[in-house]
Structure 1
Amino acid sequence: MYPKAEDGAASSATGFPMSGGGGGYYQAGGAAPAFAVVQAQAPVAAWSTGLFDCFDDVGNCCVTCLFPCITFGQIAEIVDQGSTSCGASAALYTLIIAFTGSGFQSIYSCFYRSKLRAQYSLEETPCPDCCVHFCCEWCALCQEYRELKNRGFEMSIGWHANMERQGRAAATMPPQMHPGMTR
């Protein structure tokens, strides 16, 4: 059907070699193609604070113990990059608790922990995200809050105000002067 490449791998109609299982043709000797697809993975980073370092930020610890919906809403707004507001996320979190009872909100919040980990290439420790949220919901929320705060976000002002603040900071910095051509 397609002409065979010199190295034994099949070429598509566009002339690019086909890789992967099932679609490639190999020489009679069963030799693998000479090319390989290598996927670069981002290095996994450690969390800036531990799961049980809740008392590093006593104010947030108290707010999270009394009103976890507020902490969750702040986290969700930053992780969603402003596409959902703090109030909407907090209200949904509260409604889940009100209508299903305690425990089901951890399923909802663990998705945001996964998104946060993916955005910053954080390791999944000490156990999978859903287990962390199901067993230690408040500690998990405090850790996520501290992580975003340590990455430079002012959690109380939300996504859009953080972006304005970053833009203003960049606008007030003097331009960098690069030296002219030298020999």
Structure 2
Amino acid sequence: MIWPTAIITLCFPCVTFGQIAEILDAGRTSCGTSGMLYVLITVCIAMPCLMSCSYRTKMRAKFGLIESPAPDCLVHCFCGYCALCQEYRELTERGIDPSIGYYGNVAKLRRQQQQMGMAAPMPQKMI
């Protein structure tokens, strides 16, 4: 669902950014750390797009996405909230849940792989 993400992003963009950053950094930085840096940059120089546009570039590189509708920095400078929602949705549509963090997604993937490995064998016939 997009509405909860849009409302959270409108009120607390640092939360959405932190969740996206944790996934794209493969857990090397936490959601809290990234979110606090976002807030710090916003308070100090009022340009959080300087940080968030680099993560849009990381996402495009990771998933092979085209730079559209405009360059990453322009998208984040003029439509920052929309860009964060779009990035969150992109991760969600790829089966990644940013709200549970990187390690939560790794654990979820392992559980899914274990369940697939424990499935009953398919009936086989000798030819």
Q: TM-score, normalised by structure 1?
A: 0.64
Distance 1:175 1:118 in 2: 34
Partner of 1:155: 98
The one-letter amino acid paired with 2:21 is A
Distance 1:117 1:140 in 2: 12
The equivalences for 1:171-182 within 5 A come to 171-174=114-117
Distance 1:70 1:117 in 2: 21
Bigger helix share: 2
Partner of 1:25: none
Partner of 1:4: none
Deviation at 1:106, TM superposition (A): 0.2
Deviating beyond 3 angstroms after TM superposition, the runs of 4 or more aligned structure 1 residues are 174-178
The one-letter amino acid paired with 1:123 is I
1:121 aligns to 2:64 (yes or no): yes
Distance 1:134 1:172 in 2: 43
- Which secondary structure does the structure 1 equivalent of 2:95 belong to? coil
* Equivalent residue pairs, number: 125
Provide Cα deviations, 1:144-174, integer angstroms capped at 9, x if missing partner: 0000011111221100011011001101113
CA RMSD, 1 decimal: 1.9
Distance 2:66 2:78 in 1: 18
Distance 1:164 1:114 in 2: 26
Deviation at 1:99, TM superposition (A): 1.1
Deviation at 1:130, TM superposition (A): 0.4
Provide Cα deviations, 1:74-130, integer angstroms capped at 9, x if missing partner: 0000011111000000000000011112xx110110000000000000010001000
Distance 1:94 1:71 in 2: 12
Tell me which of the two structures has the higher relative contact order, counting C-alpha pairs closer than 8 angstroms and 6 or more residues apart: 2
Q: TM-score, normalised by structure 2?
A: 0.91
